Amino acid sequence: MHPWYAHYDPGVPKEAPTPRLLTEALRENARRYPKKVALEFLGRSLSYAALFREVEAFAKGLQEAGLRPGERVAIMLPNSPQFVVAFFGTLLAGGVAVNTNPMYTPRELRHQLRDSGAKALVILDQLLPRYQEVKGEAPVEILVRTGIQDYLPFPKNLLYPLMLKRKGQWPQSLEGIPWRRFLKPGTPSPVPLSLDDLALLQYTGGTTGVAKGAMLTHRNLSSNALQVRSWIPDFREGEEVVLGAIPFFHVYGMTVAMNLALLGAAKLVLLPRPEIGPIVEAIEKHQVTLFPGVPTLYVAFNNFPGIEKRNLRSVRACISGSAPLPLEVAERFEALTGAKLVEGYGLTEASPVTHCNPLHGPRKLGSVGLPFPGVEAKVVDEDGKEVPLGEVGELIVKGPNVMKGYWNRPEETQKALKDGWLYTGDMARMDEDGYFYIVDRKKDMIIAGGYNIYPREVEEVLYTHAAVQEAAVVGVPDPYRGETVAAFLVLKPEYRGKVTEKDIKAFCRQHLAAYKVPRIIVFRDSLPKSSVGKILKRELTKEVGPRR
How far CA 440 is from CA of 52, 243, 425, 446, 453, in Å, comes to 43, 31, 9, 11, 15
- C-alpha 531: how far from chain center: 39
Which distant-in-sequence residues (6+ apart) come within 8 Å of 431 by Cβ? 364, 367, 389, 390, 437
CB atoms within 10 A of CB 540: 20
Q: What is the pLDDT of residue 420?
A: 95
Q: What is the pLDDT of residue 442?
A: 58
Percent of the chain that is helix, strand, coil (3-state, to 5): 35, 25, 40
Q: How far apart are CA 502 and CA 517, in angstroms?
A: 12
Per-position b or e across 122-144, b if 16+ CB within 10 A of its CB: bbbbbbbebbeebbeebebebbb
| Tens digits of pLDDT across the chain (548 residues) | 799 999 999 999 999 999 999 999 999 999 999 999 999 999 999 999 999 999 999 999 999 999 999 999 999 999 999 999 999 999 999 999 999 999 999 999 999 999 999 999 999 999 999 999 999 999 999 999 999 999 998 888 888 888 888 888 888 888 999 999 999 999 999 999 999 999 999 998 644 557 899 999 999 999 999 999 999 999 999 999 999 999 999 999 999 999 999 999 999 999 999 999 999 999 999 999 999 998 889 989 999 999 999 999 999 999 998 777 888 889 999 999 999 999 999 999 999 999 999 999 998 888 999 999 999 999 999 899 999 999 988 999 999 999 999 999 999 999 999 999 999 998 899 999 999 998 866 567 788 888 878 787 888 789 889 999 888 899 998 888 889 999 999 999 999 999 999 999 999 999 999 999 999 999 999 989 754 456 788 788 888 766 55
Note the pTM of the prediction, 2 decimals: 0.87
Contact (Cβ atoms closer than 8 angstroms) between residue 480 and residue 298: no
Q: How far apart are CA 184 and CA 56, in angstroms?
A: 8
Q: What is the pLDDT of residue 206?
A: 47
Contact (Cβ atoms closer than 8 angstroms) between residue 475 and residue 446: yes
Question: Same topology for domains 21-193 and 446-544, yes or no?
Answer: no
Domain boundaries, the chain: 21-193, 446-544
446-544 CATH, one of 3.40.50.1220, 3.40.50.300, 1.10.3720.10, 3.30.300.30: 3.30.300.30
Q: Rg for the chain (alpha carbons), in Å? A: 23
Please say whether the dihedral angle defined by the alpha carbons of residues 422, 427, 432 and 435, taken in this order, is positive or negative: negative
Helix (H) or strand (E) holding 75: strand 72-76
Q: What is the pLDDT of residue 209?
A: 59
Contact (Cβ atoms closer than 8 angstroms) between residue 253 and residue 259: no
Q: Report the SS3 class of residue 410.
A: helix
Q: What is the pLDDT of residue 172?
A: 82
Contact (Cβ atoms closer than 8 angstroms) between residue 79 and residue 245: yes
Phi, psi of 127 (to 5 degrees): -95, -5
Q: What is the pLDDT of residue 546?
A: 60
How far CA 527 is from CA of 444, 471, 536, 538, in Å, comes to 17, 8, 8, 11
How far CA 39 is from CA of 100, 262, 383, in Å, comes to 21, 9, 49
CB atoms within 10 A of CB 382: 7
Smallest CA-to-CA distance from 223 within 321, 319, 354, 99 is with 354
CATH code of the region 21-193 = 3.40.50.980
Which distant-in-sequence residues (6+ apart) come within 8 Å of 156 by Cβ? 42, 43, 149
Q: Report the SS3 class of residue 533.
A: coil
Phi, psi of 412 (to 5 degrees): -65, -40
Question: Which letter does DSSP use for residue 123 in this model?
Answer: E
Smallest CA-to-CA distance from 300 within 269, 270, 272, 278 is with 278
Q: What is the pLDDT of residue 531?
A: 45
Q: What is the pLDDT of residue 452?
A: 79
